[in-house]
Amino acid sequence: MNISKNKETSLKEAIRKYVADGCHMSIGGFTASRNPMAAVHEIIRQRTGNIHLYAHSNGQGVDELIGAGCVSRLEIAYAGNGRFAPTCVRFKKAAQKGSITVEDYSNYQMTLRFLAGAMGVPFLPTRSSLGTDIIAKWGFSSEMRAADPRIPDQKLMVMDNPFGSWGDAPKLVLVPAINCDVTIIHAQKADREGTVRMEGLAFSDVEQAKSAKHVIVTCEELVEPDILKANPDQNQIPSFCVDAVVHVPYGAYPTACYRYYDYDPTYLNEYRRYAEDDGLYKTYLEDFIYGLKDHNALLDKIGRDRLEKIRADQRTGYAVGLDRR
Amino acid sequence: MTMLDYTLKELMTIAAAREIRDGDIVFCGTGISMVAAMAAKNISAPNSVIFFETGAIDSLLEEVPLVVSDSRVMFWTSVNGNLADAFAAMQNRITGPHVVGIMGAAQIDKYGNLNSTAIGDYFKPKVRFSGSGGACDVASFVGRTITFMQHEKRKFVQKLDYITSPGWLDGPDGRKKAGLPAGGPASVITNMATMGFDKTTKEMFLTGFFPGITPRKILDNMGFEIDVSRAKEVEPPTESELKILREKCDPQRLILG
């Protein structure tokens, strides 16, 4: 929550200020779309560690944060990237090695948990996952929960419908609210006051943003407030929810940003090959993140030709005919 | 008669597409399920509506999406919503029963329960997979589900290492006892066969075997026995089905290979 009229800042400064060691964080986007990748890389560059990360189905951003050793605990529904990585590779390795502690939920449950946080209620009910190990098996032990006031004492709870036969749902699963220290999203448009406009699918970015103590928004275009106010029904997040606005063209690259650019299949396929080998992954981090000053340096390294190939077609919002093999 | 040339993936895709009824609301995951839904819409179920957990409804899929968040699912939709909307439509007591969900998993048992989370001990997994995503939600809520599987002994198991998505749980009353909505698994499609679930016992049984595959071979590749007495040979894809699949659904062969 922040009522300043000018929240424009640099990415370095926003990450330094709001993403601390050990913070509880969520990032927006979904698998290979609109992940706040410039911000993810800046977190990696600042060598922030011990992050407790929340995600529904974030693919690339989650995998790179884990791969770089920034994450110690993860609450997640899905760590995959479709055809680019059926299971995110660095996530898989870390979970198998035990270098991160994982707790599993479903996508709807994670969305409802953010929504509960945004609504200011401790939990919301759903009928999802009754009879499954998502309820039976806790990733975080009772001791770990008791030791950290930012984690609820229970994972999920099943209750009988207190309204009896009303609604024809005898049992309900209660999912606990999430209120992160910081949520980072990448949007198509924002203004300096913090109003946000996403185009295409919003995923759960709105719930994630509204449930967080602090919100960083990176955007393709930083526009005048009057431009967003002229069509307010297209805006999703009001300015007071947002703490920092950073203008970062291609800020979701190598993931897609609808109507601006597609995902970069070359990058995502190469990334998987780097990720599969520990030694090569060190090279990836050095060459694509640590060794670069900022996101612009990454774009320079990728080159105009590659970016031109993924430029979104005006009619469809994606790069028609892009070689995606 | 000449034998038509088709690949196993094409046969599986068409077998799934045939399970989709005109007017179904089709929930799609990534990969082959998306191509099956596109095939059904282009062949036998023109009034079906494809929708994605990310919130896109009735997308015009001019190119096959590679992830459910692909910009391709956002083009020419009736509504671009969000996850909260999409899952609510499946949990909704009016719309949910009309949804057919297409999914996949690492393990399945005879009641159609699915594991897409981990092999081995959950706390020290031998192999870790992506996790539920929306699969558990879909399997919990919708009218019926179709599951794609690789037909291997280690995948058709007596006991799942982790129940990610509920099928019929432990039998005919499983879902009711757990408090789940009435839907449940309808069929399983593999690289060898099609299977259904018995009306009374809710146990998996063989409904069809692919040309050239014997029921014996199918059983040899499963970790549990199923009834094969009701099985027939699966009709191969027709020329027109193949033409549509190849030309309209995945001309770049991104999924069909």
B239 is catalytic: no
Q: Looking only at Cα atoms, what is the longest distance across chain A?
A: 62
- Asked if residue B171 lies in contact with residue B165, where contact means CB atoms within 8 angstroms, the answer is no
CA distance B203 to chain A (A): 17
What is the C-alpha separation between A116 and A124, in angstroms, rounded?
6
pLDDT score of B3: 59
Report the 10 Å Cβ neighbour count for A49.
14
Which SS3 state, helix, strand or coil, does residue B31 take? Answer: coil
B101 to chain A: which residues are within 8 Å by CB? none
How far apart are the CA of A30 and the nearest CA of chain B, in angstroms?
6
Contact yes or no for B67 and A129 at CB 8 A: no
Q: How far is A37 from chain B (nearest CA, A)?
A: 16
Q: Phi and psi of A121, rounded to 5°?
A: -115, 150
Residue with tokens 């597609």: A262
Domains along the sequence of chain A with CATH = 11-122+179-309 (3.40.1080.10), 123-176 (3.30.30.40)
Express as a percent the part of chain B with pLDDT over 70: 98
Q: Indicate the pLDDT class of residue B1, thresholds 50, 70 and 90.
A: very low
Identify the closest residue of chain B to A133 by CA–CA distance.
B163
Helix A89-97 vs helix A60-67: angle between axes, to the nearest 10 degrees? 50
Name the pLDDT band for A58 (thresholds 50, 70, 90).
Answer: confident
**Percentage of chain A exceeding pLDDT 90:** 98
Average pLDDT on A27-42 reads 98
In angstroms, the separation between the Cα of residue B15 and the nearest Cα of chain A is 22
Question: Does residue B132 belong to the interface with chain A, where contact is any CB pair within 8 Å?
Answer: yes
The partner residue sitting opposite A127, judged by closest CB among B72, B162, B180, is B180
From chain A, the residues in CB contact with B134 under 8 A are 57, 77-78, 106-108
Q: Is the pLDDT of residue B2 over 60?
A: no
Taking CB atoms and an 8 Å cutoff, what residues of chain B touch A88? 130
- Percent of chain B at pLDDT > 90 equals 94
Asked if A275 contacts A90 with a C-beta cutoff of 8 angstroms, the reply is yes
Written in H, E and C, the secondary structure of chain A is CCCCCCCECCHHHHHHHHCCCCCEEEECCEECECCCHHHHHHHHHCCCCCEEEECCCECHHHHHHHHCCCEEEEEECCCCCHHHCCCCHHHHHHHHHCCCEEEECCHHHHHHHHHHHHHCCCEEEECCCCCCHHHHCCCCCHHHHHHCCCCCCCCCEEEECCCCCHHHCCEEEEEECCCCCEEEEEEEEECCCCCEECCCCCECHHHHHHHCCEEEEEEEEECCHHHHHCCHHHCCECHHHCCEEEECCCCCCCCEECCCECCCHHHHHHHHHHHCCHHHHHHHHHHHHHCCCCHHHHHHHHCHHHHHHCECCCCCCCCCCCCCC
User: CA B214: distance to chain centroid?
Assistant: 23
Residue A77: which of A103, A39, A116, A96 has the closest Cα?
A: A103
Q: What secondary structure does DSSP assign to B65-133, as a single string?
A: -SSTT-GGGTTT-SEE-BHHHHHHHHHSTTTGGGEEEEEE-SEE-TT--EE-SEEEETTEEEEE----T
ipTM above 0.95, yes or no: yes
Contact in structure between B178 and B129 (CB atoms under 8 Å): no
Catalytic residue chosen out of the listed positions B19, B53, B203, B241: B53
Render pLDDT for B200-252 as a digit per residue (tens, 0 to 9): 999 999 999 999 999 999 999 999 999 999 999 999 999 999 999 999 999 98
How far apart (Å, rounded) are the C-alpha atoms in residues A3 and B177? Answer: 50
CA-CA distance, B108 to B160, in Å (whole number)? 7
Size of chain A in residues: 325
Q: Which of B33, B121, B136, B168 best probes binding to A when mutated, by most A CB atoms within 10 angstroms? A: B136
Tell me what pLDDT residue A299 has.
Answer: 98
User: What's the CA gap between B234 and B209, in Å, rounded?
Assistant: 6
Alpha-carbon gap, residue B6 to B210, rounded angstroms: 12
pLDDT digits over A9-20, tens only?
999 999 999 999
Sign of the Cα torsion A20, A22, A24, A27 reads positive
User: In this model, does residue A204 exceed pLDDT 50?
Assistant: yes
Residue B154, classified by CB atoms within 10 Å of its CB into exposed (0-12), middle (13-18) or buried (19+), is: exposed
Q: What is the tens place of the pLDDT at every residue in B90-124?
A: 999 999 999 999 999 999 999 999 999 999 999 99
Residue A169 has which token pair?
């749902």
The closest CB to that of B141, out of A32, A128, A137, belongs to: A128
Q: Which residues of chain B does A324 touch, with a Cβ-Cβ cutoff of 8 Å?
A: 66, 252, 254
Residue among B32, B34, B51, B83 with most chain A CBs within 10 A, to mutate:
B83
**Which chain A residue lies closest to B81 (C-alpha atoms)?**
A201
CB contact under 8 A, B91 and A126: yes
Cβ contacts of B247 within 8 Å, gap of 6 or more: none
- Distance of alpha carbon B28 from alpha carbon B49, whole angstroms: 10
Residues of B in contact with A81 (CB under 8 A): 67
The partner residues of B101 in beta bridges, in order of sequence, read B27, B145
Mean pLDDT computed over A77-101: 96
CA distances from B236 to A233, B114, B256 (A): 50, 28, 16
Q: What is the DSSP letter of B248?
A: I
Residue B93 pairs in a beta bridge with: none
Question: Which positions in chain A touch B76 (Cβ < 8 Å)?
Answer: 316
- Asked if residues A108 and A116 have their Cβ atoms less than 8 Å apart, the reply is no
Domains and CATH numbers, chain B: 8-249 (3.40.1080.10)
Tell whether B172 is within 8 A of chain A (Cβ).
no
The per-residue pLDDT for range A156-190, each reduced to its tens digit, is 999 999 999 999 999 999 999 999 999 999 999 99
Considering only alpha carbons, which residue of chain A is nearest residue B114?
A132
- Does B150 contact A at CB distance below 8 Å? no
Contacts of A170 in chain B (CB under 8 A): 179
Q: Is B134–A115 a contact, with Cβ atoms under 8 angstroms apart?
A: no
Rg of chain A over all Cα atoms, to the nearest angstrom: 20
Cβ of A107 within 8 Å of Cβ of B137? The answer is: yes
Residues from chain B that touch A139, judged by Cβ atoms under 8 A, are 122-123
Nearest to B83 among A56, A92, A318 (CB): A56
B 52-71: CB under 8 A from A: 53-56, 62-63, 65-71
pLDDT of B194 strictly over 90? yes
Task: Compute the radius of gyration of chain B from its Cα atoms.
Answer: 18
Question: The whole model's pTM is what?
Answer: 0.97
Q: Residue A255's pLDDT is what? A: 98
Amino acid making up residue B217: K
Nearest residue of B to residue A116 by CA position? B84
**Each residue's pLDDT tens digit, B124-175:** 999 999 999 999 999 999 999 999 999 999 999 999 999 999 999 999 999 9
Contacts of residue A165, defined as CB under 8 A and 6 or more positions apart, other chains included, come to none
CB pairs under 8 A between A and B: 222
Average confidence score pLDDT of chain A: 97
